[in-house]
Structure 1
């Protein structure tokens, strides 16, 4: 039978997965619109991200009557999470190929301005975290051969995701020449958070510093979106020219990936605390 701590951890992890999927949905919508949906498969991440938000939202809501039973059904949600992982992996391959096929191969110009590989990887993370949350909610103890109740595997996954998001932020902020000192926050706080969370995954013990770092990282994701929105407003025409400036300006949906992964990390720490109490 599921205990209260495990249920709360499942809701946190599902909330984190839904937030990451929301970032992917918004970011992919803008980027694929910019690409005129040239490849018909470009609509797939929008579909899987939307379904991921709905199914993870059902876990966050618990067993409340307002949640349709279909959304809480493992038979439906398991294929959705697998599809999210698959679409993310295929998207990662497409985006990598898009960079490799450019004249001169892998160049800074191609990495800066061609298909970003961060969004498809985030879709994979949303699928993995969503699968874990649904398994925990259903009373499961492992996801395939990977144990979940200790929280260590999930902490490692969240740490890897935060580190990857920080690497993408470092790349894009370097493109922006770090013209605003606040841009350094995204390449200092999240990497330190990832290291602290990775340490917790290795030792099986969380630390108040890790909790505080995850809280800062979650807040940074929301603050980053506000900064990016301000950056969009500074382009010619500002928000009156939103159709163009949303596409060419800093990506507003990207920073909340930090928020989602940090929330999932807090869920993993809760599982660790539960394990020590058993």
Structure 2
């Protein structure tokens, strides 16, 4: 690849990371949907049409899926370029995540209470890509000398990375099930939609924490702030799991504020990673090399996407405690 093409690709990846941070922040602001908050001891209002609530929640989930897809697109662009696209299959996550991002933008702007077949197909493709990609990354690590040792886990293909596009597809697919629901209590395969999405987002937070913990362990936690993405998200996951299995109550208010905290943490993480890039030899003057060496700028907003999904799930349960 020519030097001009190299520079263009890295400029694109850097711009994507910056745009992702801004988009995530705007998404966080837009996630506070004007729903009626039930007063203590008072049942939620029923004056709004239930389909309107379902569409609102579905659009929030589209936004969460899009944030994850944007993170995957920018991150895989840089990481797979660093691997020189040795395997042509390495172009797949770029194409699929770009399609998923476009699909989520379409879904976010769609006010109709109907599932879209094309969106469903792309979201399922994204989920399948995440599963297959995880298998490729496991194979990549396992075939190295020493197999699944710390050295290979640190420097081989990141095992947890493809799960982000799987989660994006899964959340997007759930959004279509919520959107098409004609009940006051939306269902996903017969399960309460709010609790199902809360469980998925909680599990996703735990998996993303594991990936961040592994890479920050590689960095020896030399900056105390590196402990933040391995301490705050597990608490958020526990709160979401509790919400998924419990009753509507005071803990939901704490969970909602914790999701907002994680949303901000994901955006702030881009700034911390940008600072980490600046500390490499040559700083931003040597950006064409240092962006490849990390830390990865687009990775932290994965937490933002999952937190937005958690907020959507809590919104569904606020409208109906049994949702």
Common topology (TM > 0.5): yes
CA deviations over 1:159-217 (Å, ceiling 9, x no partner): 00011111111111111111111111111111101111111111153611101111111
- Give the counterpart of 1:126 among 161, 165, 168: 168
Q: Which moved more, 1:1-10 or 1:119-128?
A: 1-10
Q: Does 1:115 align with 2:115?
A: no
The unaligned stretches of length 5 or more in structure 2 are 1-48
- Looking at structure 1, the residues matched to 286 and 144 of structure 2 have their Cα atoms a distance apart, in angstroms, of 30
- 1:41 partner SS: helix
- Looking at structure 1, the residues matched to 158 and 274 of structure 2 have their Cα atoms a distance apart, in angstroms, of 19
Q: Which moved more, 1:249-258 or 1:235-244?
A: 235-244
Counterpart of 2:244?
A: 201
- Looking at structure 2, the residues matched to 185 and 275 of structure 1 have their Cα atoms a distance apart, in angstroms, of 33
Pairwise CA RMSD of aligned residues?
Answer: 1.8
Counterpart of 2:267?
A: 222
- Looking at structure 2, the residues matched to 252 and 179 of structure 1 have their Cα atoms a distance apart, in angstroms, of 18
Q: Does 1:61 align with 2:109?
A: yes
Contact 2:212 2:230 in 1 (8 A): yes
Contact 1:196 1:210 in 2 (8 A): yes
Counterpart of 2:202?
A: 159
Contact 2:57 2:315 in 1 (8 A): yes
- Looking at structure 1, the residues matched to 211 and 233 of structure 2 have their Cα atoms a distance apart, in angstroms, of 11
Contact 1:156 1:201 in 2 (8 A): yes
Cα distance, 1:79 vs. partner? 1.1
Cα distance, 1:242 vs. partner? 1.6
- Looking at structure 2, the residues matched to 7 and 137 of structure 1 have their Cα atoms a distance apart, in angstroms, of 5
Alignment map for 1:10-29 (pairs within 5 Å): 10-29=58-77
CA deviations over 1:108-156 (Å, ceiling 9, x no partner): 110011101222111110000001112222336444x35253x111100
Contact 1:218 1:260 in 2 (8 A): yes
- Looking at structure 2, the residues matched to 134 and 60 of structure 1 have their Cα atoms a distance apart, in angstroms, of 11
Cα distance, 1:63 vs. partner? 3.3
Scaled by the length of structure 1, the TM-score of the pair is 0.91
> Cα–Cα, structure 1 residues 148 and 55, in superposed 2: closer, same or farther, change >3 Å?
farther
Counterpart of 1:67?
A: none
Q: Does 1:231 align with 2:276?
A: yes
Contact 1:13 1:265 in 2 (8 A): no
Q: Of the two, which has the highest radius of gyration?
A: 2
- 2:162 partner SS: helix
Cα distance, 1:73 vs. partner? 7.1
Counterpart of 2:303?
A: 258
Q: Does 1:102 align with 2:144?
A: yes
- Give the counterpart of 2:220 among 165, 177, 183: 177
Contact 1:152 1:204 in 2 (8 A): no
Counterpart of 1:45?
A: 93
The unaligned stretches of length 5 or more in structure 1 are 65-71
Contact 1:225 1:256 in 2 (8 A): yes
Scaled by the length of structure 2, the TM-score of the pair is 0.79
Contact 2:161 2:211 in 1 (8 A): no
- Give the counterpart of 1:32 among 76, 80, 83: 80
Counterpart of 2:232?
A: 189
Q: 4+ residue runs of structure 1 moved beyond 6 angstroms?
A: none
Q: Does 1:211 align with 2:256?
A: yes
Counterpart of 1:69?
A: none
